[in-house]
Amino acid sequence: MPAFLSILLFSLAFVQALCFPQSFNIREVYRFPNGTWLENIAVRLNGNLLVTDLMTVGLWEIVPPTESIHSSIRLVHHFDGADDVAGITEVSPDTFAVISSNSVWQIEFNSHDDPPKATLISKIPAGFLNGMATLDEGKAVMISDSQLGLVWHLDIQTGNYTVLHRHETMEANSDLGLLIGVNGLRTLHNYMYYSNSPKRIFCRVRIDTRTGRALGPYEIVSHDTLADDFAIDPRGIGYLASLTDNEITRVFPNGSHDVVAGSKDSRDLMAATSAAFGRTRSERHVLYVTTGGETENPVNNTASLGGKVMAVSIPF
């Protein structure tokens, strides 16, 4: 390489590092067809990604690409007759609970390549079940109800459900077009974290990790952070999928926040809906992000494309 070129490249890299110190490496993992809206994501123990898709009302499994092999995909389960599919959470090793049309299903993988077994756990008289997290021992889950603005407790062994949390930070309004409030839901250590999309707040409450009951006040961690679902790292730092802000917003426990990937006028993370960290040793710092695609309000009115899964490297 000619010297001037390497100096130029070096300078460019230097300028880029100065201007975008928090812009982490980002790459495409898998792109779905036009019209696809990916809603949520979980990662299997073997590193494969499970994503829920509204267009096909299906749960899909993606094997991420390696240096020599392209990514591949298979349909895990189709929710016959359902209108939507939403949150997903692992309840015991390689068994997942998945929401579809206010019903919660159990999807059980087995060691063979057989189709996983799907069993209905319960249908809840909810407004709109959306995000979901598992409580200790995997006997119950907590589920955000975006329309009623509350959180349900569901016993996955008996199918019994009851309202567990109801607080003004969870309330719904129509500021974003449709009636929606509490949305993403995850647990870490002794806290339940949640987002409220129209209120643009990211919150948490200390809980009894077995029952899910509140043991402290409902706290607002950050304001001005639009979010659908999110991932949370072991230090309690949130990585919020910011929907129409087209980015991943990183929120520190003290409430300060910045953008680690994407931007308003970039298509990289257009309509970011959820995020989850990889689980294998080499992928623990890889944040997998789902998007709703570019069918509605594409950036700069460019062509529409389907939802996709992107990978962002997050050093921690």
Task: Please say which residue, 66 or 254, places its beta carbon nearer to ligand NAG.
Answer: 254
**Residue 307 is encoded by which pair of tokens?**
């939802």
CB distance 48 to 63 below 8 Å: yes
With binding defined as CB under 6 A, does residue 304 bind ligand NAG? yes
Coil, strand or helix at 78: strand
DSSP state of 299: G
CB of 111 to ligand NAG, least distance (A): 31
Stretch that binds ligand NAG, among 113-121, 199-207, 208-216, 293-301 (CB under 6 A): 293-301
Residues 250-269 that bind ligand NAG (CB under 6 A): 252, 254, 256, 265-267
Tell me the β-bridge partners of 98: 88, 105
Coil, strand or helix at 224: coil
**What's the CA gap between 253 and 263, in Å, rounded?**
22
Task: Please say which residue, 4 or 316, places its beta carbon nearer to ligand NAG.
Answer: 316
Task: Please say which residue, 71 or 295, places its beta carbon nearer to ligand NAG.
Answer: 295
Coil, strand or helix at 285: coil
Task: Please say which residue, 136 or 175, places its beta carbon nearer to ligand NAG.
Answer: 136
With binding defined as CB under 6 A, does residue 300 bind ligand NAG? yes
Q: HSE of 118 in the Cβ direction (CA atoms, 13 Å)?
A: 15
Stretch that binds ligand NAG, among 16-24, 120-128, 173-181, 301-309 (CB under 6 A): 301-309
CB of 68 to ligand NAG, least distance (A): 30
Binding mask 234-253 for ligand NAG (x = CB under 6 A): ------------------x-
CB of 307 to ligand NAG, least distance (A): 12
CB of 252 to ligand NAG, least distance (A): 4
Q: Which positions ≥6 away from 219 have C-beta within 8 Å?
A: 203, 204, 205
Coil, strand or helix at 111: coil
Letter string b/e over residues 190-224, b meaning 16 or more CB atoms within 10 A of that residue's CB: ebbbbbbbbbbbbbbbebebeebebeeebeebbee
- The number of residues that bind ligand NAG (CB under 6 A) is 16
Coil, strand or helix at 97: strand
Residues 35-74 that bind ligand NAG (CB under 6 A): 35
CB of 299 to ligand NAG, least distance (A): 4
Interface residue with ligand NAG among 160, 173, 190, 211 (CB under 6 A) is: 160
With binding defined as CB under 6 A, does residue 295 bind ligand NAG? yes
DSSP state of 20: -
Q: Which positions ≥6 away from 259 have C-beta within 8 Å?
A: 22, 247, 248, 249, 250
Task: Please say which residue, 77 or 204, places its beta carbon nearer to ligand NAG.
Answer: 204
**What's the CA gap between 273 and 41, in Å, rounded?**
9
**What's the CA gap between 297 and 301, in Å, rounded?**
7
With binding defined as CB under 6 A, does residue 301 bind ligand NAG? no
CB of 157 to ligand NAG, least distance (A): 8
**What's the CA gap between 128 and 115, in Å, rounded?**
28
**What's the CA gap between 311 and 112, in Å, rounded?**
28
With binding defined as CB under 6 A, does residue 211 bind ligand NAG? no
Contact residues for ligand NAG, defined by CB under 6 A? 34-35, 158, 160, 252, 254, 256, 265-267, 295, 299-300, 302-304
